[in-house]
Amino acid sequence: MTTASRVRRVAVIAAPPVSMFNLAIPEMLFGKVEVDGGPGYETVICAPDPGPVTTTGGLDLTVPRGLDAVAGADTVILAGSGSYTDPDPRILDALRAAAGAGKRIASICTGAFALAEAGLLDGRAATTYWAYRPLLAARHPAVDLQDDVLYVQDGPVLTSSGYAAGIDLCLHVIRTDHGAAVANTVARLALVAPVRPGGQAQFTQTPLPPERGVSFADTRAWAMEHLDEPLGLTDLARHAGVSVRTLSRRFHAETGVSPLQWLLHQRVERAKELLETTTLPMDALARACGLGTADSLRGHLLRRTGLTPSAYRATFSRLTGSGAGGPGSGGPGTALLVRASRSFTAGGAST
């Protein structure tokens, strides 16, 4: 079995009282990954004390596995918990052991507090839910705490902010392991927004803001089917049955960007998928995603990822068995930050 098709193991730690939504995100997304006709991940939920685990909603969940599951995992994810300021020492020990073994470690929302308490965030860029960032900064001044970000990767350690950012973090992990095409498929199956731009740890990129309306959803879906055509504002407005002025105003209100910015973003994402999944020559690939020429493709991809099309294909192609780096991709001291608009961050959830 090749490295690209190996089933990766994920251990999700439920620290009581755990957030049920935080806990469900990894299982839901990693469980939808299929690579070479088989599952891409095996996800196990574990807890310090196997058995009933309380949740922030007052319900009990039955978690049959103990923290011994961490030893067999490639990636360890700590879900948000109501006990974030008083993490269980057994969880801290498990996290330190995982870090010592070179595993990739991540947290969703307030899970960052336990990572900091374990000493895994000292000197690293990190984030947590916006309302708790001042407390995390006060308790752990050695952490390079980032504001207004969805998630941060610094070497093998990843942290995310509120609820929905945990989805973005998991999709980023899938993209890192299996490429944009697989991650975008998972996003569609889970009925969430397409993968926000990421890349390797040295890249710093701005994602599309979350969509805030659906009146142009049909037009966006239609445009996705016609990215290879020379679409402009007139074409989009005609499909939507509105004037260009109305389209521009309402499209921006729904997506946070102009129609042409949105189109460019989708075309670059399509180019990345085609680079990963086809051997199309660069000029043909550029035409297929609507970027026109190989020179145009090169310029846009360099600005978004820091890689030329040839370098991107060599790094992420699914056809050659190569792929993004493993759990430790990027190395300590380099950080990937995916920034959120303030309206998105302020609307996040608390655990």
Residue 293: both structure tokens together: 């020429």
Inter-residue contact 267 to 277 (CB < 8 Å) = no
pTM of the model: 0.65
* pLDDT over 60 (residue 38): yes
Residues 50-100 pLDDT 10s: 999 999 988 899 999 999 999 999 999 999 998 899 999 999 999 999 999
* pLDDT over 50 (residue 342): no
What is the strand order of the sheet 75-78 is part of? 41-46, 8-13, 75-78, 104-107, 157-160, 149-154, 335-339
Query: If you ran DSSP here, which 8-state letter would residue 210 be given?
Result: P
Place of tokens 């102009």: 258
Q: What is the mean pLDDT of the chain?
A: 84
Angle between helices 309-316 and 294-305 (to 10 degrees): 60
State the pLDDT at residue 336: 63
Inter-residue contact 265 to 257 (CB < 8 Å) = yes
Distance between alpha carbon 336 and the CA centroid of its chain, in Å?
Answer: 11
